[in-house]
Every structure is written in C-alpha cells, then in structure tokens.
A and B are shown apart, each in its own frame.
Chain A
Amino acid sequence: MKELVRQFRDFFVSLQLTVVLLAMGIVLVFAATLDQTNLGIWAVQEKYFRSFFVLWQVGEVPVPVFPGGYLVGGLLFFNLLASHFYRFKFTWKKSGIFMTHIGLLLLLVGELLSGLWQEDTLLTMREGETLNYSESQLKNELAIIDVTDPKTDLVVAVPENVLARGRTIEHPDLPFRIETRSYYQNAMLRRRDEAPNMPPSLATAGLGPQVVAIPVAPTYRQNERNSPAAFIEVIGREGPIGTFLVSTNLASEKPDTNGMVVQWQPQTFSYAGRQWKIMLRHARVYHPFSLTLLKVEHDVYAGTDIPKNFSSRVRVNNPDGRDDHEALIYMNNPLRYQGLTFFQSQMAKSVQLTGLQVVSNPSRQLPYISCILMGVGLLVQFGIHLFGFLGKRRKVAA
C-alpha cells in the first residue's frame, strides 16, 4: 500500500510529467489558435481553456478527445507545488528557479481567478448622454419592466438561456407567468409587408404581428453578435394576455456604431392595473455611479485615415455627492474607478458615439507580481550559471 502511495507521489512530482503537460499545453494552444478561424475567440476559450476536456461532437454524443485548459493547467499547478514540497531542496544556487516557479504559480492562480470572476461589459454612449449601466457583449436578458411609476422602473431581468431552454418564468414581482413558444439563437427581422410570403406570426400582441423573424445561422465572429428572438406568451391568472415577439433587434434604442437608428417602438401592455414594458436586451450591469460623455475625439494621421488616437472625455458622478470629476479616457490610458476599469474600445465620431470596455477583475494585480518574480528569478538563475561559467573559464585560462 505504501509502495502504491509512493509511486503515486513520484508520478506527480516527476519532471517527466512536467514535460508531458507542457507539451500538451502547446498542442492545446496550437489547436485553439487554428480553431479561432472557425469558432471565434470567445467560443474557443470556452471549448479549449475553460474546460476540463476538449469535446468533439460525434453525432449527438460529446466525446472528450484531449485534456482541456483546466485539467492541464491544474495538473501543472499540482505538479509544480508537489515537486517543490517533495523533491526540490531550496539552496541559494536554486533561488532563481524557486522565484520563477512561485511567479508561475501566481500567474496560473491569477488566470484561473480572472476566468472565474472577471466581468467584461461595454458602455456605449452618445455625447451628452448619462448612463449608470454597461451591457454584456455576449449575454442577453429578457427584461419585464413595471413602468407604472414614471419616476422609478421596476425591472425583472431573466437570462436568455432560460428562454432558450423553454422554461416557464415565474417571479414574485410578476402577477403573470411567461412561457416560451419559440426561440432562435440568431434571427433577422423584416417588416411583414417586406416579406409577403411568410407564414402567419405566432405573436398576437405588440409589434410581433407586423414583423417576421427569420432564423439565421449563429455567428461566432469576434466582432459580430447574435440577435436572438423569441415568441413568448404572457399568461395571467385568468388566461393568456398575449404572445409577444421579443428580440435584441427590437430593443435597440440607440444608434449602433454605424449610426443606424432602429425605429421600433417599445412593446407595452397593461395588466392588473399596472403598465408593463417587455424587451429582450443586452444584459445590463448597473453601477452605483453614472458617467456622462462630454466629448469624443478621433484623430487620424495627416492625410490618411490611419487612427492616431481615440479619446472620450467623461464626467464621473457619484450620487453620494462625494465624487464629481472629469476624466479623459484614451488608448493606453483607461479610467480606473471603484474597482472598475474603463477602456477606450470603439468609436464612431460621425455620430458622437463612444464605446468603453468596462472590466472588473479583483485579481488584476497578480500578473504584475508574477511577472516581476519570474523575470527576476530567471535573471538570478541564469546569472548564477553565467558567472559560474565565466569563473570556470578564467580558472582554465589562468
């Protein structure tokens, strides 16, 4: 028994395992790079790195074909930690290796944490606009808003995947339930009069009857996003209220970066003496402060359209009254505020529109520390080698 444990331990602390895992890492990264042309960067991250196994779809069955990022990275972490406990003897001669490995452990932990809790959203605003939320670049939500009180909106937000799975939506704040009749991951909308030969709509209320939703293949490209659509039936205690077509294409109230303004009206209905608005929109993250876009600038090099700089001047306003200041956000110079970082990301000068990437990542300092540890560690280690080598040569020469 003891022998078995010892063999088990020897396997986990061995350099052979390190080399095999590193080689697997290379294969994984290489395959993921090639697959980006098919899947796009987001899907690739989920498939190869944020998984224990890379799965291939054989018919309906997903078959694990290769260890994924969590498994390779996790084993490497374990191997490194274990070998430092059992095999590695700390000596000054090996201090550099030690530092490098500590740095590497930190880097792996940091990447894991970022993967788990980093949140990326996009804040798109026009000059003069003030917003206190940013929107997800991947996720959508069904928002059912009680707009009876003109001063306050009460929002119930339901993630898109609840619609996708066809679950019934019930919520204590809603006096009705919602059922999904049909859901498309990506759909294009046409006015019914522009697409005359389409079958009748499932929708009975709102804009739905005038609109045709045509399912299209989902996109995985980095700079495109899917526009899901769903037919949802709102059912009150007494019976159906109506079936609505909801789509992120129907929800856009702002011009996109091309300046296209979508002219759909919001869909509303009244029930139980209250007014409700219903929309499928990009999932929102609300912040305890607001930003006002004062000015956007887009400089190009003289006589060309090569961008030289994008910048957005914003005012940060905190309702606690303690903070009200201006900041200039431009390339390589983000605004950091309350644990969030605002980066200049997109720009459409013609419509005075800016897109700020909003990132929250509590572990963002870790890579900095690990970079220093690894750099200094390697420098120390190879320095020791180099001076040892030079010293020996000098002795030989003497």
Chain B
Amino acid sequence: MKKHLSLLVLLGALATIVYSLLPTKNPGQFDVNGFGRLPVLLNGRLKPLDTVARTTLLQIQNTQSVRTPDGRSLQPIEWLLDVFFVPELSDSYQVFLIDDPDLLALLNLRRSDGRGNRRFALAQFDKYLGDLSKQANAADNVESAVRTRVQRATVQLRDNVVLYRRIQHSLAAPDLKDYLSDLLNFSAIRTAGAQAEMAKRAGQPSDAAAIEKITTIGMAFQDMSEWANLAAVPPPEGAPDPNAWRTVGAQLMDALGGQALGATPLAFAGLGQTWRNSQPKEFNELVTRIRGSLESRYADAFDRGAVETRFNSAQPFYLGMVLSALAGFLALGSWVGSTQQLQRTAFGVVGLTWLLTTAGILTRMWLEGRPPVTNLYSSALYVGWGAVALCLALEYFYKNAVGSVAAGVIGFVTLLIAHHLSLTGDTMEMMRAVLDSNFWLATHVVAVTTGYSATFLAGFLALIYILRGFFTSSLDKGTADSLNRMVYAIVCFATLFSLVGTVLGGIWADQSWGRFWGWDPKENGALIIVLWNAIILHARWGGMVKARGLMNLAVFGNIVTAWSWFGVNMLGVGLHSYGFTDAAFFWLTTFAASQLAIIALGSLPLTKWRSFRTAAG
C-alpha cells in the first residue's frame, strides 16, 4: 500500500507537469492565443504579444491574474486586447499595485476600495494623475539611492501608468471613436482636409468640419507616434534591415504626410473593431491574415514565439517552486517517521523537479540564444538548479534525506527569489555591449554562479547540522559524520568553481578593459567568497576547527555569498551594478541576521545540544 502511495505521488507530480505543457485553449470563440503569438518588437527583441501581456502585468501589479469588475477572470492576453482596443473597459480593471499609505492618501484611495486591498484601477485615481506626476517629477531630481519610500512608490506608479498608456497607444488610437472607418476613408478625409485648409488660407469659404476632422485625426496619430512603445509594423519586404520594425503611430504620421497607409494599421484597426463588437469569426480571420503576411518572413520569430507562449503558460518555475516545497516536506517527514518510503519519494520528486527546471532553463537558453546566466533573474534560477543538482548527487551517495531536504528548501527559495526578480519586466533582455560575449558568459559567469550555489549548499547543509543537532535528538553520529564530509566536499567544489570563475572574470576584464583586476565591487564580492572558502579549507586542514567550527564557518559563507550576489548591487557603484532592488536590502539584512543567530546557536557548548546531550548521557 505504502509503495503504491509513493508511486501515486510521483505520478501525480508527473501528471501536473505534463498537464502544464498542454496547449492552452482559447477561452471563448476568439482566437486570442493566435493573437498572442503575433510578434512585436519591444526593447530590442521580437517577442510574442503574450509575453508583452504577462511581463507588463507582472511589472505593474506583480501577478499575471486579472479580474474584471464583474468578477470574470481574464487571461493576460485578453487583458492586453482590452487595453489595446477597449480602453474605457481596461481602465476599470484593478491592475495597479499601490501599497504605500502616503501614496494612497495622495490619490485619495482607501485600501478597502482595492482588489486584495492593494490593486487599483486607473479609473479610480485618474483624477489625481496631475498630482502624481508632480510628485514623481520632484522625486526624479533625487538620486535613486536616497529616495524615500513614498518617493520610490510614486516614481514607480508614475512609470507604470506611463507604461500602460504607451501600450494603449501602440496598436490603435484610444481617443478616436470611429478609428477603423477613419482609416478606411483616410485618403478622402486627408484630401478634403487639405483642400479645406487651402481654401481657408486663401480666404475662400471652406469646409470647417473637414478641417476639424483631419485635425482631430492628426492629433490622435501624433499621440500614437509619441506614446507607442511596441513596434508592430514590419519593415517593407526587401528592406535592408529586417529588424527595423516601426510603431503604428510612426506609420500613421507618414500617412498624414501623404504616404500610403499600409496594411498593418488597418489590420489592427479591424482587430480592434471586431474585438469590441464581439465578431469572433472576423477577428480570427484577421489574425490568420496578419500571421500569413509575416510567417514566411519571420519564421524564426514565429517558431520561438510558439515555444515562448507555451513556456509562458506552462510557468515551469512556478510549478518547480510548488514541487520543491512538496519534496522538502516529504523529506522532512522521512526524518520524523524515518521511513525509507518517504525518503525515496522525496528523492523522486526532487529528481522530477530538477528535470523540469532543467528543461525550463534550456528553453530560455534556446529562446535567447545565450548561456544560462545573463542577468540577476537567471542567476537565481541557475543557483537553485546547480545546488539541487549537487543535492541529487549527495542524496544518491548518502541516502539519508539530507540532500532532499536541502534541495527542497534551496529550490523553493531560489525560485521565489527569481519570481520577485521577474517583477521588473521582461527577463530575457538584450545584453549591453560589453556583456555581449557568449564565450565569457558561458565560462566566467557560469563558473562564478556555480560557486555561489555550492557555497550556499555548504552553508545550508551546515544549517541542517546545527538546527537538527541543537533542537532535535535525531542527529546521530552517522548522520553527523556524513554531514561533516558533505560540507567539506561541497566547500572544495565551491572553492574550485569560485576561484576559477573569479580568475576567468579577471581575464575577461583584461580582454575588455585592459586590466586584470579593478577592485570593482562585484569582483571584490567574488574574491571574498574565494577567500572565505580558502579560510574554511585551511582552518580544517590546520586542525583549527572540528565539525562544529566547520559548520559555523560554512553558515557564515551564506552571508558572504548573499553579499556578493545581491549586496554589491545595492552599493550603486561599479561596472557591475545592474540589479538594484530596494526591498532586497531588507531581506538581505534579515537573512544575515538570521545566519548570525544560527552561528551563535552553533557556538553554544555541545552539552546544550539535544542530539549530543542524549548521546553523551
């Protein structure tokens, strides 16, 4: 029976993974998924609209889920369609995260008016946008490192509103009631307007309505060309640069100046009309037609786009987080109940989770055409992945569930960190010039990040040793000895990778900037990890520390690594400062304090430890 239960858990996990990979169905008759796969150019990358929808939502409200005021749940792409084409409706969706009490007061919002007390609709505070913009402009003049909490919140909300507005102006004119018919009759309107204007200038009777019409349209086009951030119009066929996509607004301004309107603005206007008027058949036809016009020229973008949207909806890292937690609990349970069965199940779940995250990371690599670590977000994924791989090896050799517990917790925490890092926008950004080197990204960055994961793992194993030994009587001599050996082995591994990675970084710097070592904060952080690992090894070789001392040193390694990984980015100096985050500072200090507390615990005499007290007595 027990055996079947274990199999059932594994099958359940596997089924969940497989289910997440199934293609998503359209929620209604509209082919919104087809629309979501259309590519646009944003931040230097051709990406599917689905990604635009999801990253924008993460950025402005920290979650991908949207609820309409009447309680319907929307897919991100449906939300994006409403933003594009039904602005009066999308303005009423509560998608702006506002958490700061002073900012809420400025906007005259009560928490109870928000979804989950913290998400508000633009329509709820658009009366106060003037105040918001004034406060944000004032905060702009303050250096970002020294802004107050409310200043940061104000700037962020202003930026989010701007981002939302820019997207809203990207495909259609939100202010023109008859946008499609205006475009369809555009050349007539343009001619009539021009003639009327000429007549007026010549002092002859003129058609005031025609002038007003073309002026209104012209202003709407102008707004679009100034605001739009998605480049949705591909360059004409045979253009020298296939990446020179333009915005619909820019194309419309050209049309205002006398050039042809082009098919793309019309097609999007048609999509808008059919979406507003609930005409799924016509909508789907238009999606197919746009797709057909691009597919042969941008086959690669469509291939990647298809994978990327599937990847988006599968959310493998979110699922990985859930499964890691499950594995951790199973493994902990195996210590309490000390059953082989639970232990093996946990090992199986860890293995599955690791395969899932491996597939996720490989997909990202293929989509980007890059080695695994390109920014802070992907470093979090990789640190977790590397640590879990080592845990699998440890568990394979020692079979005492220590590896599974470590894998569960580290996997969960690193994926959680990655989730929070993903809230700043698209995680597949383009690499700045000097970082644009796959060779060094693949060697130096990967080696250093592997060093991080190993140092963390050693520290985490040491945590298990101290907590289990101090609070429970379950740390028997055999487990204690094997933990001792594990920590030592992982520290050796960490030393190898952090040392080689750091020196490779120096060589990269020599190649790019002409100096091997520049005492840049990030370099210093990496150096400190190397030195710390060297201290642990030499202290052990010199007999200066025994098991308990080794554990305390390894726990301190957690602080050292966290500092190097996140702390140096908070200094705001140096070539490497690319990942500044404010909330991270709080968590970093809290983490360091917790580690110091555990070191203090670990320094208490062994007679106070439950495991060793019973062993002695």
Contacts and interface: CB of A to CB of B under 8 A. Distances in A.
A307 B507 contact: no
A37 B517 contact: no
Interface stretch (B41-49, B71-79, B85-93, B154-162): B41-49
Given A18-B538, A306-B44, A308-B436, A41 B493 contact: no
Given A309-B433, A343-B513, A371-B503, A303 B231 contact: yes
B284 to A, nearest CB: 29
Contacts of A379: 496
A222 B518 CA distance: 12
A44 interface: yes
B156 to A, nearest CB: 21
A359 interface: yes
A9 interface: no
A357 B513 contact: yes
A371 B43 contact: no
A32 interface: yes
B317 interface: no
Contacts, number: 167
B572 interface: yes
A220 B506 CA distance: 24
B532 interface: yes
A252 B489 CA distance: 59
A111 to B, nearest CB: 6
Interface in A145-169: none
Contacts of B515: 114, 118, 120, 359, 361
A54 to B, nearest CB: 14
B496 A331 contact: no
B432 A306 contact: yes
Interface string B298-334: 0000000000000000000000000000000000000
Nearest to B542: A15
Contact of A303 (B245, B429, B499, B511): B245
Contacts of B496: 375, 378-379, 382
Interface string A95-139: 000000000000100110010001010000000000000000000
Contacts of B495: 378
Interface string A1-36: 000000000000011101100110110011011101
B532 to A, nearest CB: 6
B519 A41 contact: yes
Given A36-B573, A41-B518, A302-B44, A22 B528 contact: no
Interface string A314-357: 00000000000000000110100000010101000000000001
A344 to B, nearest CB: 9
B500 A374 contact: yes
A343 B503 contact: no
Interface stretch (A243-251, A282-290, A362-370): A362-370
B263 interface: no
B44 A36 contact: no
Contacts of A368: 507
Contact of A332 (B42, B43, B511, B518): B511
Contacts of A371: 500, 503-504, 506-507
Nearest to B488: A385
A219 interface: no
A45 interface: yes
Interface in B500-547: 500, 503-504, 506-507, 510-521, 524-525, 527-528, 531-532, 534-535, 538-539, 541-542, 544
Most buried by A among B434, B504, B531: B531
Contacts of B574: 36, 41
Given A19-B544, A41-B520, A303-B231, A36 B514 contact: no
Interface in B29-46: 41-45
Nearest to B520: A41
A225 B201 CA distance: 57
B514 A341 contact: yes
A92 interface: no
A114 B492 contact: no
Contacts of A389: 485, 489
A117 B518 CA distance: 15
A19 B538 CA distance: 7
B43 A303 contact: yes
Contacts of B42: 303
Given A36-B573, A37-B572, A44-B519, A26 B531 contact: yes
A301 to B, nearest CB: 3
Interface string A379-398: 10110011001000100000
A116 to B, nearest CB: 14
B535 A22 contact: yes
Given A34-B571, A309-B433, A334-B514, A367 B507 contact: yes
B593 to A, nearest CB: 17
Given A307-B433, A310-B433, A378-B495, A26 B518 contact: no
Contacts of B589: none
B142 interface: no
Contact of B528 (A14, A29, A222): A29
Contact of A16 (B44, B45, B510, B544): B544
B607 interface: no
A32 B507 contact: no
A35 to B, nearest CB: 10
A382 B491 CA distance: 10
Given A36-B521, A44-B519, A306-B43, A22 B534 contact: yes
B513 A375 contact: no
B219 interface: no
B538 A331 contact: no
B297 to A, nearest CB: 15
Contact of B510 (A32, A358, A367, A374): A367
A29 B500 contact: no
Give 10 nearest A-B pairs by CB, closest first. A301-B44, A15-B542, A359-B514, A302-B243, A371-B503, A307-B433, A378-B496, A304-B44, A375-B500, A33-B524
8 contacts: A29-B524, A307-B433, A332-B440, A368-B507, A375-B500, A375-B503, A382-B492, A385-B492
Given A303-B231, A310-B433, A375-B503, 4 more contacts: A15-B541, A16-B542, A29-B519, A368-B507
